[in-house]
Every structure is written in C-alpha cells, then in structure tokens.
Amino acid sequence: MSNAIDLVTLREPSSTLSEAYRTLRMNLQYATLDRSLHSLVLTSPGPDEGKSTTLSNLAVTMAQVERRILMVDCDLRRPRLHEIFGLENSVGFTTMMLDDAMLDSPPIVETGVENLALLPSGPLPPRPADLLGSLRMDAVVERLLKEYDMLLFDAPPVVGVTDAIVLATKVDAVLLVVSAGETKREQAQSAIERLRAVNAHIVGSVLNNAPITASLSSYY
C-alpha cells in the first residue's frame, strides 16, 4: 500500500498541491522543446528537502497522461521510493548493475498506478559513486529506455557526496528541489556550481514546502 501522506496526487487529485505537480509536468515539457528529455535526475542541495516525494508525485502526473514512466531509486544511501509506494527492496538497481541476467530482465516492480513502475535501489553498495559512474550505468540506462518513455532518477543530495554529480553526466537533465525556509542560499549556489562544473543540464528548480495563500487555495 502506498504512503498516502506523500502521494497527494493520488490522495487529493483536485487539490492545489496536485495542480502544482501537473504544472511542473507541463513546465518541463515547455522547457525542453528544443532538446529531447527522456531521463531526468531529481536531487537537492541537502537532505530532507522533499526530492523523493516530489519525484513520486511528478511521476504519477506523467503517468496519468499515458506515458510509460519508470522511477529509478539511485539514492544508494537513503532509498525511499519503495517505502513511498509500499514495495519490497530486496533486489533492484544495484542487482541489475552487477548481474548480467538482470540486464536482460530488469527487476522492475509495478506500483499499482497505471503506466508507472519502479526499479528500487536494491542492496546498498559500499561505493555508490563508483557504481553510478561506470560504463555499466550507460548500458542500464540504454536498456531501460527501450521500454519506457521517461526515466526519473532519485539521487542523493549534491552537497556532501558526489553521487548526483556523477549521475548527472549520464542523463538528459537535472531538476533541483529546494525547500522553502530550509535550504540555505549558499547550499543552493554550491549545488548549482557543482552541477555546472560537469556540464549538467539543469532544467529548473522546484521550491518545495512554500506556503499557499488563502486566495490561491480558495481559487482551486
């Protein structure tokens, strides 16, 4: 059973928050008109800024317009996507990275949401950045894109570890999630600088946990 608290797009599809996720989906489409977007990393400057929740709800809205969406949990330090959707995490991305048989038959699980599947993290490795930066990672991305229209990768925070930076070089774009009242300006600037240093395409940012005015709420 999915975590109803996190998945507002399923729990309250007509709410202001759900509409914000649909707007984010639309903005991503317009922001990438001049270049293809089939793989996207969601990360944040620091921990606990809502990147996994943002990814999950964005994925639901994308799946609702009949696109085949795969979420890939590449936060190999604190994976959360399997918890949000109430799924097992015994095998997953790391298994696929190490087992040739899994490359032919990825250990993907259905979420219960039409057109939306998950490749959970699997067992946590000792050196995540080395795994994400390997040539095997290129093969995994190529394999998954044969079955899905969009890959959404959940990555650890940028500041502190190199995982998201390495992963950013393997995908089409990066979406940075920041939390209102929590993310420090210097942290956000540092995250952007580190991503730009590897020529990552930062498609935009999401301001999470921003207060909703009463007038806006009543309009929706």
Q: Give the pLDDT of residue 217.
A: 41
Q: Domain count for the chain, please give it.
A: 1
Residue 88, both tokens: 């097992």
Amino acid at 53: T
Q: Are 19 and 8 in contact (CB under 8 A)?
A: no
The answer for residues whose C-beta is within 8 angstroms of residue 155's C-beta and 6 or more apart is 41, 42, 43, 51, 74, 75, 163, 164, 167, 168
Domain assignment present for residue 80? The answer is: yes
Domain that holds residue 13: 8-219
pLDDT at 35: 77
Position 1 scores a pLDDT of 45
Is residue 152 included in any domain, yes or no?
Answer: yes
- The answer as to whether 1 is a domain residue is no
**Who's near 194: CB < 8 A, 6+ residues apart?**
158, 159, 165
Q: Which pTM was predicted?
A: 0.92
Flag whether 154 is in a domain.
yes
In a domain, 2, yes or no: no
**CATH code for position 130:** 3.40.50.300
Is the Cα dihedral 22, 79, 117, 139 positive or negative? positive
HSE of 20, CA atoms in CB hemisphere, 13 A = 17
Note whether residue 3 is domain-resident. Answer: no
Per-residue tens of pLDDT for the chain, all 220 residues: 455 568 999 999 999 999 999 999 999 988 777 778 999 999 999 988 899 999 999 999 999 998 899 999 999 999 999 999 999 999 999 999 999 999 999 999 999 999 999 999 999 999 999 999 999 999 999 999 999 999 999 999 998 899 999 999 999 999 999 988 778 889 999 999 999 999 999 999 998 877 665 444 433 3
User: Strand 109-110 vs strand 202-208: parallel, antiparallel, or unpaired?
Assistant: unpaired
- Assess if residue 49 is contained within a domain: yes
Q: Which DSSP letter does residue 134 get?
A: S
Evaluate whether residue 62 is within a structural domain.
yes
Which residues, 6+ apart, have CB-to-CB distance to 23 below 8 Å?
Answer: none
